[in-house]
Amino acid sequence: MAGATFAAIDIGSYEVSMKIFELSKKIGLKALNDVRYRLELGNGAYARGRLDTEMVDYLCGILMDFRRMMKEFGVEKYRACATSALRELKNPAVVQDQIFRRTGFQVEILSNAEQHFLGYKSIAAIETGFKKMIQKGTAILDVGGGNLQVSLFDKDALVSTQNLKMGSLRIRERLKQLEKATTHYDQLVEEFIRNDLTSFQRLYLKDREVRNVILMGDFLTDTIFSEDVNDNIITKTEFLKRYENVAEKSVQQLSEEMEIDPEYASLVVPTMVICKNFIDIFNAESLWAPGVSLLDGIAYDYAEKEKYITSAHNFENDILVASRNIAKRFSTGKNHIQGTTAIALAIFDSMKKIHGMGSRERLLLQLAVQLHDCGKYISMADVSECSYRIIMETEIIGLSTEERSIIANVVRYNNEEFEYRSSFMDPAGMSSSMYLKIAKLAAILRVSNAMDRSHYQKVEGIKAVLKDDELSLILDSTRDLSLELGLLKDKVDFFEEIFGIKLILRRKKKTE
Amino acid sequence: MDLKKFEKPEYFVNRELSWLKFDERVLGEAKDKTLPLFERLKFLSITSSNLDEFYMVRVASLKDQVHAGYSKTDIAGMTSKEQLASISKATHELVQQQYSTLNRSLLPALEKAGMHVILEHEQLSAKQAEFVDRYFEDNVYPVLTPMAMDSSRPFPLIRNKTLNIGALISRKDKKKGKESLVFATVQVPSVLPRVVIIPSEKEGDTTVILLEEIIERNIQKLFLSNNVVCAHPYRIMRNADLTIDEDEAEDLLVEIKKQLKKRQWGEVIRLEVNEKMDERLLNVLKEEFAISEEDIFFINGPLDLTMLMKVYSQDGFEQYKTKKYTPAPVIAFQNDKSIFEVISEGDVFLHHPYMSFDPVVNFIRQSARDPEVLAIKQTLYRVSGHSPIIAALAQAAENGKQVTVLVELKARFDEENNIAWAQMLEKAGCHVIYGLVGLKTHSKITLVVRREESGIRRYVHLATGNYNDSTARLYTDCGIFTCDERIGEDATAVFNMLSGYSEPKYWNKLIVAPIWMKDRFLKLIQREADNAQKGIPSEIRAKMNSLCDPVIMSALYYASSCGVKISLLVRGICCLKVGIPGLSENIHVRSIVGDFLEHSRIFYFSNGGKPEVYMGSADWMPRNLDRRVEIVFPVEDEQIQEEVIHILDLEFQDNVKAHVLQPDGTYVKPDKRGKTLINSQMEFCREAAEKAAATEKAKQNSRVFVPVESAE
């Protein structure tokens, strides 16, 4: 069978790019076309929160060209993603709609966490060395035009990830006026970002050891680091030498030497300064630029979903570990979480037919369980509201804004009274499928959480059996469950209301 | 590689003077008595059209430089003024030689062959005169527009490159009772044939007369009430090119753009007159055209010898013409397989005009029809009038293929033609791109994307010559078909770039100008120099149309001084000097001027025994390397590499049509005494025909009954 083709499109802050892939089980992913067009959407977006009509015209023109190029390879499936340039607009929906009307492209605005998760997926996917590398302390530095993302890995899993508004284009724009006042532009940039860096170091890096830095990004970072280097790994000394070589040069010189557009060249120094400072605070030994981009990640993600490839790395686990670390930061009890998770998953798995949700929602449920108590760190009296706010403000890698909002709402309605659709506080941005997911997951969370009300993990085993319209939870416990069962009444009512089935709780009989 | 010390003016030849040497070599063919008579006419005609183009483009540009006050010198250390002076001297000599060849050698020979060219109407017999007068009244008179100049009528506009007859007519001034002379002019109509066949005195002969003579004979009829004192033909060339020649240096372009307003539009830069022209008439022209003495050419014979092509194409006289060569079929495609099957089995090499151009046309045709083809992309520079390629591309678009065509509107003298069919393609649904600002797209590449069992597959045709089925019969060019995925990916990137998208991070195989090519060639030259210094045998062989890039030439000097053996086949301009002690003793330069126009570009580097061979669209000229989109591609298939090396071998052995550059700057044909004569072009014809015949024979010998397939 002929393989399928797929186009990944990235509307970035300073370039619009597309990569067309051929997908097949035999060869996996193969790039057929790779195009980029320099378009500084970020300029208007960061400064004014709006895009000029002219810019939108340009963008649509490029997308029409992309459409033609897709046809040249018979591409039908695509995913078009926009990042911070559209994310930071005041009117993203308007722009999205204009693009759709004029080009037929449904452009999806990635949340920062989604964007970087996809990016990181691309490295994990293509590089076998990645798995080995992240056994030791490793940081992924993703320098974009608008933002940069630092993710820390240790012992095969993602430990923490932070987003800083220090992208190369943003820095260049902010410093434009000051540029003339100095002959040491690199120092100016360095001072500008120093404060944020120190905070990052104090709060998140602490005394973690980072040996390797993986540099991700786009065409630009690739160009800076690709020349004359074997396997794209350079040592710290080599990097510093290169830095010295670049820091004092004019845009014109850089453009000529690197054979790149002057507009790209103007972003070289900011990018280099950012990298240098991170290498400094990490005290890393080497820097690796694997030369992959968001586009590879988008395609990889699609290929994985369509089962053209199977990944060696467990990406869901990264999300779980990342959220566990968030829970830890807010001193959530580990045992209670484990107990509740077991119960919640038993319920979820036993009634798939009833709730009709899939593996992604199962993951969301686990995350909701992990984070449902984090608000206690702020206020014992107002746990749900505080938990809700913490989740909404915390980046969870790999989740879209919508998914994060689902988790936050599930956690909120764990304790708070559920607000039915008609009286929903924020109907905007809440689709009915999202609303239903929240309700269903909240119902499961409520019951599961209540079973460990005392946080003593009295329930030692649980078995869920669905028969006709009756779900029986058979609890295995040698201890007194009167507190749990006594307080369960209203939770059960809500559960039955949402799923339309009867929930029966009983102790496991001796003979069972 | 420090090239500074090689960049001295005395090491280089001025490119215009070198070009004139080329036209002399073409003239040499016209003088060559061993060639069939009519072929010699053709060559003489070519020298004339060459010279016209040279004036329009190069001399015009130098004039611009003088007006702009541009005082920089060229690589040979000459200012624009100095160049113009030298050109004037050299062209006058060249023209002198053209006409002595015509008058002393060709016309008498034509006479003997039974072709009478009547140069002066006075020579007509009574019967012929009657025919001519009749012809004038019936055909010529109605389309003539005579114009006179007097106090109420200013000097009329004389169009660029047209042939005209100037006359002085005397008018009686009634008041003063005095006769005065008035200038009048009439254009020889370009809508009528310049060469007119008239009845011959001897049965079986052919007699022709030139249109201007017919008009001259009857000129009195145009000015009935006045007396025509004298009438003579003249022709002018104007500086009327709208574009600035891309061959000029960057800083000059800037300078001229600034001065554009001051540019003297339509300035007359050359005046050709019959040498017998009346002094008074000449003075009128001189004054009105404001032309200086060195730009006037006094012609001993008919003006504008391009008309000889018309004489050449008269029917008959076959024994005085070289038999037309029919390109041999390409063996790889002599079977029932589809073109895609053949290419997927291995790269296919084409050498035109020895081998047929049909496979290239078929490639597009089959792609247009093939249901699995998704897209066709092609660069078009100059195409023929009724191009089958254009028709196939339009068909493909109508069949729902994605067709992208890059049409280079800046192709010299072809602009109008190009616009017309570009619009036609757009109508058919093709996506037409008009090239990049400031860069001429000169590369010749076609990409076909096809969906196959095993996935997407890209077929690429790369060539040294244009996609033009008519010139493919006259120009020697090479091409290659491949489905090498690395080249396919590069081809996609080339078209991305041509559509205004960023260049790729790297190129797999192709070498692309303007950004990457020059450096790459310098590296290849450097590598040979390094090898030579290490005592490893080293050699560079290259074939191109022109060589005038100062950096490349300096690098060649450097390599030669390191001991690299360098052999160059440069058909036209060559600004490099050979035989300078310590500098270019190892450089050999030759130029082949033959029946076919040498046009392919081939580059060979011995690379310490692992030869690397490249072909492509680029000459070693600044315009190709710095201001055009060009592609040079490696020839890696062993068998094809052998074939390409064979081309070079044979051309370096040519001792019939080759001219070897001497240390004094002249070109000399090699001494043939005691040697087997090798005419490389004829050899290639013979080889291609033999190969095709052998395959045909093998096919006939196999006993398979072939069913008739439905007609296309």
At B371-387, the pLDDT tens digits run 999 999 999 887 776 78
* Nearest-angstrom CA–CA distance, B687 and B328: 9
Q: Which of A254, A275, A291 is the last residue of a domain?
A: A291
Q: Are A28 and A48 in contact (CB under 8 A)?
A: no
- B-chain residue closest to A72, CA distance: B375
Angle, vertex CA A151, rays to CA A149 and CA A152, nearest 5: 155
Sheet containing B206-210: which strands, arranged edge to edge?
B115-118, B206-210, B195-198
How many angstroms separate the CA of residue B50 from the nearest CA in chain A? 38
CB within 8 A of B509, min separation 6: which ones? B484, B486, B487, B490, B633, B634
Res B636: pLDDT:
92
CATH of the domain at A103: 3.30.420.40
With pLDDT > 70 as the criterion, what percentage of chain B qualifies? Answer: 92
With pLDDT > 90 as the criterion, what percentage of chain B qualifies? Answer: 60
CB pair distance less than 8 Å for A73 and B375: yes
A413-451, pLDDT tens digit by residue? 887 777 776 545 555 556 777 888 888 888 888 888 887
CB pair distance less than 8 Å for B492 and A30: no
- pLDDT band for position B263 (50/70/90)? very low
Res A347: pLDDT:
85
Within-domain flag for B9: no
Cα-Cα-Cα-Cα dihedral sign, residues A154, A157, A160, A164: positive
Closest partner CB to A37 (pick from B454, B456, B501): B501
- A-chain residue closest to B500, CA distance: A37
Res A1: pLDDT:
44
B493 reaches A (C-beta below 8 A): yes
Say yes or no: B378 and B475 in one domain. yes
Res B414: pLDDT:
56
Say yes or no: A27 and A63 in one domain. yes
Say yes or no: B669 and B574 in one domain. yes
CB pair distance less than 8 Å for B492 and A33: yes
* Nearest-angstrom CA–CA distance, A291 and A216: 7
If you count them, how many residues does chain B have?
712
Within-domain flag for A268: yes
Residue with the two structure tokens 């130098």? B62
- pLDDT band for position B203 (50/70/90)? confident
Say yes or no: B129 and B104 in one domain. no
- A-chain residue closest to B496, CA distance: A35
Closest partner CB to B505 (pick from A2, A72, A219): A219
Tally the domains of chain B. 4
Within-domain flag for B6: no
Within-domain flag for A117: no
pLDDT(B253) > 70: no
How many angstroms separate the CA of residue A288 from the nearest CA in chain B? 17
CB pair distance less than 8 Å for A2 and B500: no
Res B413: pLDDT:
55
Res A391: pLDDT:
87
- B-chain residue closest to A28, CA distance: B455
- pLDDT band for position B68 (50/70/90)? confident
Say yes or no: A358 and A260 in one domain. no
Tally the domains of chain A. 3
- Residue-range definition of the domain harbouring residue A163: 126-291
Within-domain flag for B498: yes
Residues of chain A with pLDDT under 50: 1, 423, 512
- Residue-range definition of the domain harbouring residue B249: 122-300
Res B365: pLDDT:
94
Instruction: Name the interface residues of A facing B (CB cutoff 8 Å).
Output: 2-3, 5, 15, 22, 24, 27, 30, 32-38, 65, 68-69, 71-74, 219, 222-223, 226, 259, 261, 291
CB pair distance less than 8 Å for B505 and A73: no
Say yes or no: A220 and A336 in one domain. no
Within-domain flag for A300: no
Within-domain flag for B562: yes
Q: Are B107 and B123 in contact (CB under 8 A)?
A: no
Say yes or no: A376 and A486 in one domain. yes
| Poorest-pLDDT segment among A289-293, B129-133, B243-247, B695-699 | B243-247
Say yes or no: B63 and B177 in one domain. no
Say yes or no: A350 and A446 in one domain. yes
* Nearest-angstrom CA–CA distance, A139 and A213: 5
pLDDT(B712) > 70: no
Within-domain flag for B8: no
Say yes or no: B443 and B335 in one domain. yes
Say yes or no: A479 and A339 in one domain. yes
B693 reaches A (C-beta below 8 A): no
Say yes or no: B214 and B140 in one domain. yes
CB within 8 A of A483, min separation 6: which ones? A453, A454
Q: Are A150 and A165 in contact (CB under 8 A)?
A: no
SS (H, E, C) B439-507: EEECCEEEEEEEEECCEEEEEEEEECCCCCCCHHHCEEEEEEEECCHHHHHHHHHHHHHHCCCCCCCCC
Say yes or no: B104 and B137 in one domain. no
Res B708: pLDDT:
66
Within-domain flag for B706: no
Query: Could you list the active site residues of B?
Result: 442
B451 reaches A (C-beta below 8 A): yes
B569-625, pLDDT tens digit by residue? 999 999 999 999 989 999 999 999 999 999 999 999 999 889 999 999 999 998 888
Mean of pLDDT over chain B? 88
Say yes or no: A151 and A104 in one domain. no
B387-432, pLDDT tens digit by residue? 899 999 999 999 999 999 998 776 555 556 667 788 888 888 999 8
Mutate which: A5, A33, A228, vs B, most B CBs within 10 A? A33
Closest partner CB to A72 (pick from B375, B500, B504): B375
| Poorest-pLDDT segment among B64-73, B350-359, B619-628 | B64-73
Say yes or no: B337 and B236 in one domain. no
- Whole-structure pTM value: 0.82
